[in-house]
Structure 1
Amino acid sequence: MSQVLNPAASLPLADSPELQQALAQANLPTLLAVYVHLSHDAAMLDRFADCIRPAFAPVPTSIPDDLAADLRGKLHHLLVTGEGLATGAPDDALFQRIMSVMVGEPVEQEFIELAFDQCGFRPWIDRSALPGRASRPANFKVLVIGAGMTGMAAAIKLEEAGYDYVVIEKNAEVGGTWYENRYPGVGVDTPSHFYSFSWEIWPDWHHYHPQGADMQRYMVEVADKYGLRRNVQFNTRVETLVYDEASGMWTVTVRRPDGRTEDLVVNAVINGHGPVNRFKWPDIPGLADFNGPVVHTADWPADLDLKGKRVAVIGTAASAAQLVGAIAPEVASLTVYQRTPHWVIHNPEIADEVSAGMQWALRNIPGFKEWFRFKVYWAAADGLFANVLQDPAWVGNDLAVSELNEMTRQYALSYLHQKFADRPDLIEKLTPDFPIFSKRIVLDNGWFDALLRPNVTLENKGIARILPNGIEAKDGSVFECDVIVCATGFNVARMLGNLTVKGIGGRDLGAEWGEEDARSYMGMCVPGYPNYFHTVGPNSAPNHAAGQNLISECQVNWIIEALDRVTEAGAKSFEVTEQAYDDWNRKVEARMPQMIWSHPRASSYYMNSKRRIFLSWPWRLVDFFNETRAPAEGSYVLHR
């Protein structure tokens, strides 16, 4: 373990107008946490405990002005003079008490290690700093597929752990999803201050939910800081992976920018290509015959100008909602084709800019960005888990699975009725008939406002065919348009994409998984494919809330622990056992009937055509964190 963060090391701060502005504008519960962290003044927690409420409580947080002023004054004095600064870091009990008060509800002991690691207080392991850690064998090489979030995490941590590695990236730059997705309005559902690497908590977000360009800027800055590009081979695609049992090596065939192929021989492969970069076109007759541009949101042309155009958008999920909100004011007319309505949540801060004072606090007040990250994690991640766990008392209910889930549904319904009070036709079209959270929700960032514009029409009668000059609905009506935009998602179920992966005895992972039935151990390993690690794999997606960044980090940690077992034992490779694989999949299958995604009315890309939930992790993020500290003894074999 690393040492606990010591914010006091950067004190005192100079008194300045910027500090005064930061104390006036910054989040108060976070200022409270910083003050108690630095001072160990637990009495201040008692004064605030009755004022701070959980994120989704019916009664909101309300801190009296005099109490807020007293906190700001005490913290200001401590920051600029150092007086009242405690010696050493808080003990774990005080940390836990600070966490509980700042989020308005108990934070149990099981969350403490996750909070230490994910919020930068005490990273789980910095392998470069472990005393006595032996260097890794010079001839042991790891190949990483993809330089998106997971691939970048793998590269940084492999470097830290002393492994030789190479990253193969099909694009010209790092960023993955955020390099590729550039459609107008593209953004992130996960709050900015949690959706980042735990070891690179960024203070420079412009919005509380990052826009796509901000997300890509963060990725680029991380790549710059860690010098990642020296080990990345850009504009290169991985095509085939073949395992040789005798040598324990993988031969990886890549295609270079000039079209030639090359074989790379490595000890291990970490596949970080992710499930959301292989977009799919809708299966609609006549799509290829349209006379104008037909584009997908995930492949947005840089030179596409929609001003004054007649535009059709196919789809109403997250990408479509972001796009429509952004382009509706500038197009001549816009028809949106909806197959299924989605639950829409009003998040008042979705478009909020981070104030200058808040940004200054994040950059300069010691400990502030770490504590704010914890506050965001708690509200946006495991705090939402009760929405997706079925309460047996609610079995048979068509529209909710628990009391909290019904409360969340009513909140969304109230917002829907409020926005469209004068448009009962839109209320009817936009009201889902399934429980909220049983498929991905949409955060409203201009979507509902766009649907109220006179130049926007929501069509839900279904598409019959595409004509050369427009779209014909199933009722025979025709919308003539200049551009068709397909916001129709990704082929998530085909998790290998176009990769060919051959394991022991010529086993073919693509054939075993087929088009839609991927299975693994912990979303990472399959027996018969030693030293092949498939990140963000089957049943590892955090579909109850934010947290893909955490899942990626946890999987990278587990994989490096697995590789360490190989190198420390002088073995050739690591393979999960059939028993562990079978037990794990039985455990997942037994859990799924308890989850909202299995509700009779649920239908989402989380499930395959046989209604097997192949994508979702059916427990909390803290459970994934705890499960991935190291491979369980007895769950694997080392080949020598």
Structure 2
Amino acid sequence: MSEHAQGAAIARDWHDRSLPLADTDELRNALEEANLQTLLMVYVHLTHDAAMLDVFSNYIRPPFSVPGTEVPDEYLQELRTKLHHVLTTPGAAREDDPSEALMQRMMSVGVGEEVADEFLPLLMDQIGFKLPKPRKEIEGRPAPQSGFKVLVIGAGMTGLAASLKLEEAGYEHIVIEKNPEVGGTWYENRYPGVGVDTPSHFYSYSFEITPEWTHYHPKGVDMQKYLLHVADKYDLRRNIRFNTEVVSLRYDDAEAVWNVTVRGKDGAEEVIRANAVINAHGPVNRWKWPDIPGREEFQGKMMHTATWDPSTRIEGKRVGIIGTGASAAQLIGAIADQVGDLTVFMRTRYWSIYNPEINHEVSPGMKFALRYIPHFREWFRFRVYWFAADGLYGNVVKDPEWPVDSPSVSAANEGARQWALAHLEAKFHDRPDLKEKLTPDFPIFSKRIILDAGWFDALKQPNVTLEDGGIECFTPKGIRTKDGKEYEFDIIICATGFDVANMMGKLEIHGRGGRSLRDEWGLDDPRSYLGVTVPGYPNYFMTVGPNSAPNHAAGQNLISEAQVHYIIECLDWINANGARAVEPKTEAFEAWNRQVEEQMKHMIWTHPRANSYYNNSKGRVFLSWPWRLVDLWNQTRGPNKEHFELH
């Protein structure tokens, strides 16, 4: 089956969730298997029976808190019986939605802790209960100016969202994609074991929530199928030019347009004129080789995880892997029992935590509930979001009373550290050598965390060696370490990450008066206003720009939607005023960066022992958003017009 066909196949007959449902074994099985808290939310949503919340509020607690008393069986059976009646009996369910006050109480009971007022607008938006009307259907909104054209760079998760929302807003646009298909990261990364840290039922668009995940954390192929499905359903390919790369952007001051030079697969170049540019090429798009001499000398096969060759046969081979980050951990867990000998070269240590759901498949009953029971998928998405997002923020905020030289930054952070240490001890109590090599000396959450999906077990296999002595160079036959050891390999795999700090990649961007963004940013010191705009570059919009990445939590999909929303709000403002372009004022840009730097002093990423790809070569934290996701969502509802100027 082709990739395009796989995308179409994901959409089945789960769109119809009308009542009543047939009283089938599948339904009864779903009521037994599906998540209890979510079933409770569905029942109250359909009946407005708040009394049932009182029954369960004494038993539901958030994960990793003091455990509550187990729910009595009679209460569980009562809930399932009542919900079964509502789902199968004509007229038993109410047709009106609960009040906002009741929904807030449902949320608080469902997660076992207070859901404050400030979260409600974000939650209603992100869990899919209040889908916004397409902009071009909003009464009184001016139609976009005739001939106003937007160019989007990239057709990954953010670029597809931009194309869809631009279409809904009535903007003429074109998407330039260097690959032959949509997907971005999930098209390119195909190494064994590739997957997503964010839980499946949140890592998707709020306007296209799917029940078709096979695992609670999506595999790479699942993500690619989902994005193919979105491209199919919304007919997005008609605005995409594939196998084409953007080379440069140059702003024409007199015409207030961007001259965008693109290069096709045949090497031919042309210039596309666009009134606005949305750069959605993503931070994990520019993979990099390790800075180790002699790479060209190796006579075996060498590849980067981001350029995995699916024809590669690894069975029985001598394999070397450089790196122990997220990609390496996934790959090693997937191939350790297939290769002959595997040597892992560790450049840095990472905290690893165990999540029992990381490899769990979604059961048939749970999938039935997600497909057919009204409101179940939205309420389950809420639950997943709540525990994967701002609930984690306390882990990354420094307690000013906490010792500066401690390997943690607060009591909450120390608790998470002890939890991770307990996992290390459980896995390596019989291998003190590995435990010592793998125990980090920096605060947990100050670098990206690895979800252990077989990574630790793989390191204990007899054919696996963990080498932490440092690499001196590549050799014709393999790798020489700094202590003089020689390793021979058939295959070397570089899991050495991406050039995240060089946010321009190979692009050349020239703004007003010919000014150069590369000159202003250098190689690794990008700065912006709100992670989206830069003064001097009118109508140039970034996504996942400087200091806008949610490094404390899951939520890149939320960031993508929020920033696309913000960008189109900016375009609508231009349009409504008959202007040609917008850009942030220099003083607003400078003030926002001062706010970032001040807040960053209180964040875990500026701890003396913290250093990761969130930092540039001078140690500045250029990537992380230092506030909560709800704060970013609120700030991207539209431009602060005092901070911008229209041209």
Distance, in Å, in 2 between the alignment partners of 1:628 and 1:391 is: 28
Q: How does 1:36-435 map to 2 (within 5 A)?
A: 36-59=44-67, 62-124=70-132, 126-435=134-443
Q: Is the 8 A contact 1:382 1:620 kept in 2?
A: yes
Deviation at 1:137, TM superposition (A): 2.0
Report the 3-state secondary structure (helix = DSSP H, G, I; strand = E; otherwise coil) of the residue aligned with 1:394.
Answer: coil
Q: Is the 8 A contact 2:180 2:242 kept in 1?
A: yes
Structure 1 unaligned residues grouped into runs of 5+: 1-6
1:516-554 Cα distance to aligned partner (Å, 9 max, x none)? 100001111000000000111000000001001000100
Q: How does 1:551-562 map to 2 (within 5 A)?
A: 551-562=559-570
- The answer for the alignment partner of 1:490 in structure 2 is 498
1:241-268 Cα distance to aligned partner (Å, 9 max, x none)? 1111111111101001211001101110
2:590 maps to 1:576? no
Question: Structure 2 vs 1, CA of residues 11 and 61 (structure 1 numbering), >3 Å: closer, same or farther?
Answer: farther
Q: Is the 8 A contact 1:77 1:83 kept in 2?
A: no
1:197-242 Cα distance to aligned partner (Å, 9 max, x none)? 0100111000000000000000000000000000000000000111
Deviation at 1:125, TM superposition (A): 5.3
Q: How does 1:466-485 map to 2 (within 5 A)?
A: 466-485=474-493
Match of 1:461 among 450, 455, 469: 469
Q: Is the 8 A contact 2:17 2:372 kept in 1?
A: no
Compute the RMSD of aligned alpha carbons: 1.2
- The answer for the alignment partner of 1:603 in structure 2 is 611
Report the 3-state secondary structure (helix = DSSP H, G, I; strand = E; otherwise coil) of the residue aligned with 2:45.
Answer: helix
TM-score calculated relative to the size of structure 2: 0.96
Q: Is the 8 A contact 1:8 1:38 kept in 2?
A: no
Distance, in Å, in 2 between the alignment partners of 1:460 and 1:535 is: 36
Distance, in Å, in 1 between the alignment partners of 2:192 and 2:413 is: 32
- The answer for the alignment partner of 1:633 in structure 2 is 641
1:568-592 Cα distance to aligned partner (Å, 9 max, x none)? 1111101111111111101001000
Distance, in Å, in 2 between the alignment partners of 1:451 and 1:150 is: 35
Structure 2 unaligned residues grouped into runs of 5+: 1-14
Match of 1:614 among 611, 618, 622: 622
Structure 1 residue ranges, 4+ long, deviating more than 4 angstroms after superposition: none
Q: Is the 8 A contact 2:136 2:143 kept in 1?
A: no
Distance, in Å, in 1 between the alignment partners of 2:265 and 2:459 is: 43
Deviation at 1:393, TM superposition (A): 1.6
Deviation at 1:132, TM superposition (A): 2.5
Residue identity opposite 1:203 in structure 2: P
Q: Which moved more, 1:49-58 or 1:589-598?
A: 49-58
- The answer for the alignment partner of 2:4 in structure 1 is none
Distance, in Å, in 1 between the alignment partners of 2:394 and 2:383 is: 18
Distance, in Å, in 2 between the alignment partners of 1:55 and 1:372 is: 15
Distance, in Å, in 2 between the alignment partners of 1:302 and 1:184 is: 9
Q: Is the 8 A contact 1:147 1:167 kept in 2?
A: yes
Report the 3-state secondary structure (helix = DSSP H, G, I; strand = E; otherwise coil) of the residue aligned with 1:464.
Answer: strand
- The answer for the alignment partner of 1:545 in structure 2 is 553
Deviation at 1:77, TM superposition (A): 0.3
Q: Is the 8 A contact 1:242 1:503 kept in 2?
A: yes
Residue identity opposite 1:324 in structure 2: I
Distance, in Å, in 2 between the alignment partners of 1:406 and 1:190 is: 23
1:286-334 Cα distance to aligned partner (Å, 9 max, x none)? 1210110110000111211111100000000000000000010100000
Q: Is the 8 A contact 1:194 1:373 kept in 2?
A: yes
Match of 1:443 among 447, 451, 470: 451
Residue identity opposite 2:645 in structure 1: V
Deviation at 1:398, TM superposition (A): 2.1
Residue identity opposite 2:270 in structure 1: E
- The answer for the alignment partner of 1:4 in structure 2 is none
Deviation at 1:129, TM superposition (A): 3.3
Distance, in Å, in 2 between the alignment partners of 1:364 and 1:458 is: 48
Report the 3-state secondary structure (helix = DSSP H, G, I; strand = E; otherwise coil) of the residue aligned with 2:250.
Answer: strand
- The answer for the alignment partner of 1:3 in structure 2 is none
Distance, in Å, in 1 between the alignment partners of 2:16 and 2:217 is: 29
Deviation at 1:472, TM superposition (A): 1.4
Distance, in Å, in 2 between the alignment partners of 1:8 and 1:489 is: 42
Distance, in Å, in 1 between the alignment partners of 2:424 and 2:566 is: 43
Distance, in Å, in 2 between the alignment partners of 1:523 and 1:396 is: 30
Q: Is the 8 A contact 1:111 1:622 kept in 2?
A: yes
Deviation at 1:123, TM superposition (A): 2.6
Deviation at 1:60, TM superposition (A): 6.0
Report the 3-state secondary structure (helix = DSSP H, G, I; strand = E; otherwise coil) of the residue aligned with 2:487.
Answer: strand
Q: Is the 8 A contact 2:17 2:373 kept in 1?
A: no
Report the 3-state secondary structure (helix = DSSP H, G, I; strand = E; otherwise coil) of the residue aligned with 1:575.
Answer: strand
2:541 maps to 1:533? yes
Deviation at 1:83, TM superposition (A): 4.7
Distance, in Å, in 2 between the alignment partners of 1:169 and 1:556 is: 18
Residue identity opposite 1:116 in structure 2: M
Distance, in Å, in 2 between the alignment partners of 1:121 and 1:279 is: 38
Distance, in Å, in 1 between the alignment partners of 2:374 and 2:123 is: 17
2:20 maps to 1:20? no
Residue identity opposite 1:358 in structure 2: M
Deviation at 1:397, TM superposition (A): 4.0
Distance, in Å, in 2 between the alignment partners of 1:410 and 1:115 is: 31
Distance, in Å, in 1 between the alignment partners of 2:630 and 2:68 is: 26
1:3-38 Cα distance to aligned partner (Å, 9 max, x none)? xxxx99821111111111111110000000111111
Q: Is the 8 A contact 1:311 1:331 kept in 2?
A: yes
Q: Is the 8 A contact 1:53 1:61 kept in 2?
A: no
- The answer for the alignment partner of 2:9 in structure 1 is none
Distance, in Å, in 2 between the alignment partners of 1:125 and 1:627 is: 21
TM-score calculated relative to the size of structure 1: 0.97
Residue identity opposite 1:409 in structure 2: R
Q: Is the 8 A contact 1:344 1:444 kept in 2?
A: yes
1:318-352 Cα distance to aligned partner (Å, 9 max, x none)? 00000000010100000000011110000000000
Report the 3-state secondary structure (helix = DSSP H, G, I; strand = E; otherwise coil) of the residue aligned with 2:620.
Answer: coil
Distance, in Å, in 2 between the alignment partners of 1:380 and 1:123 is: 22
- The answer for the alignment partner of 2:530 in structure 1 is 522
Deviation at 1:62, TM superposition (A): 3.2
Q: Is the 8 A contact 1:538 1:615 kept in 2?
A: yes
Residue identity opposite 1:444 in structure 2: D
Distance, in Å, in 2 between the alignment partners of 1:403 and 1:126 is: 45
Residue identity opposite 2:181 in structure 1: E
1:153-205 Cα distance to aligned partner (Å, 9 max, x none)? 10000000111100000000000000000000000000000000010011100
Distance, in Å, in 2 between the alignment partners of 1:83 and 1:170 is: 53
Distance, in Å, in 2 between the alignment partners of 1:16 and 1:9 is: 15
Residue identity opposite 1:158 in structure 2: L
Q: Is the 8 A contact 2:142 2:575 kept in 1?
A: no
